Amino acid sequence: MYSSVGFGGGSSYLAVLAMYNLPYQEIRLTALICNVIVVVGGVFIYIRNKQTDWRKIIPLTIVSVPMAFLGAVLKISQETFFLILGITLIIAALLLWIRTDLKNGEDHPERTGTSLFKNGLLGGGIGFLSGLVGIGGGIFLSPLLNLMKWDTPRKIAATSSVFILVNSVSGIFGQLSKLSADMDYFRILSLCFAVFIGGQVGSRMSLKWNPLVIKRMTAILVLVAGINVLIKYW
């Protein structure tokens, strides 16, 4: 579902894994690896089709990458993690529900630019949250950039894919610095394989599905999971 609308799926991976009461360190690492698996193909396609504006992408990512690493290595308790996760999922669900793209999906009227400082601040903030919770950050970045009229929806999607990829990789390196001894690596590999298959199917069916319907179906899943996490761990 996520690959068909240009996201990595980190929020839904977190939502589903949290429902199964898995160790929170394993939840974060798994979600980040799955993110990379899903978006790397999309990034390649966007670059090949020249949809990536590196002059605008680099200011967003150059701050977000170290901040994602910092968020990943930051030591927090399990209770704090699930509290932040629940709030994050609810916010993500609201952003998924809001329709910020245009009907034709091509051009934004009265497109406006943003300063390097604003891009860096936005990227750094979302990057830190990405590493802390275990998402790529695209689910927050994409709606905000659309609301800011940052660029065309197609280039925003390309930017979000690159953002998700680099932040997920940075977060993974941060997680590797403090792996738990009781990690179930077979389970992680199994989930990654499932995500790879699903991502390949979704990316090839993206033109056949209604992106708005998929986003809102996913928003309901993420919202229910977020509320469930807060009820269980608050």
Percentage with pLDDT > 90 across the chain: 15
Which of 158, 146, 62 minimizes the C-alpha distance to 111?
Answer: 146
Alpha-carbon distance 29 to 172, whole Å? 6
Whether the per-residue pLDDT at 207 is higher than 80: the answer is no
Q: Name which of 1-5, 141-145, 147-151, 178-182 the model is least confident about.
A: 1-5
- Residue 62 has what pLDDT? 92
Read off the pLDDT of each residue in 109-132 and give the average, rounded to a whole number.
78
pLDDT band at 38 (very low <50, low <70, confident <90, very high): confident
Q: Is the dihedral of CA 74, 79, 80, 83 positive or negative?
A: positive
pLDDT band at 102 (very low <50, low <70, confident <90, very high): very low
Q: Which pTM value belongs to this model?
A: 0.81
